[in-house]
Amino acid sequence: MWIKKNNSVVFASDHLTNFLDALASKLQFDIVVTSGDRSPREQAVVVKNKIDLGDDITKVYVNQEYAKAMIQAYPDLDKMTQVTIDYAPTPHIRGDGIDIRTRDLSASQIQTVYTVAKDLGAQAIIEKTPPHIHLTVKKNAFKMDDTTKKTIFPLLFRIGAVWIIRRLFR
């Protein structure tokens, strides 16, 4: 089972909820989601917090220009928000980001979440500051399990067949 840390965790798209349902169904323990979609301001606050805690964000963010610009704008939240707006949006801003709390998980459980999430098609990063697993789940990257495929593909086939028959007999 997965739960949201609180009501501030939001998802604008169902693909993250569907992904979390699939992930949780493959785990033998519960997980807590600490973050989902973010505004540019919320992203700036998170990055500021990481820097405040001593994290080297150039080792976390793939977009090095973004990371360096955020460091230059630090600690001014207005400037950090503007940098976030100016650069390519992060997964959390695009609606593709999930953070899962790890401080209450064992090292083995963290590795299991990481591995299962990757097997389901997510990009996963284990972050130390603050401790969490960041998942990027692109809308079309989520891999369906065999049960879902066995249910959806025959249905799509039948819908297609009905459409073709209707077109032929008009």
Quick one: average pLDDT of 109-138? Answer: 96
Q: Which two tokens stand for residue 21?
A: 């349902």
- What digits encode the pLDDT tens for the residues 150-165? 555 565 556 665 566 6
Residue 60: pLDDT band (50, 70, 90) is confident
- Structural tokens at position 133: 């697993």
pLDDT for res 108:
97
Q: Is 103 helix (H, G, I), strand (E, B) or coil?
A: coil
Q: Average pLDDT over the chain, rounded to whole?
A: 89
Report the CATH architecture of 2-143. Answer: 2-Layer Sandwich (3.30)
Paired strand residues for 100 = 33, 133
- Say which amino acid occupies 120: L
Residue 143: φ, ψ to 5° = -90, 125
The answer, yes or no, to whether residue 76 has pLDDT greater than 80, is yes
Q: Is the CA virtual torsion 108, 112, 118, 124 positive or negative?
A: negative
142, 96 contact by CB (below 8 A): no
> Whole-angstrom Cα distance, residue 108 to residue 116?
12
Inter-residue contact 2 to 31 (CB < 8 Å): yes
Residue 70 has pLDDT above 80, yes or no: yes
Place 146 in a pLDDT band, splitting at 50, 70 and 90. low
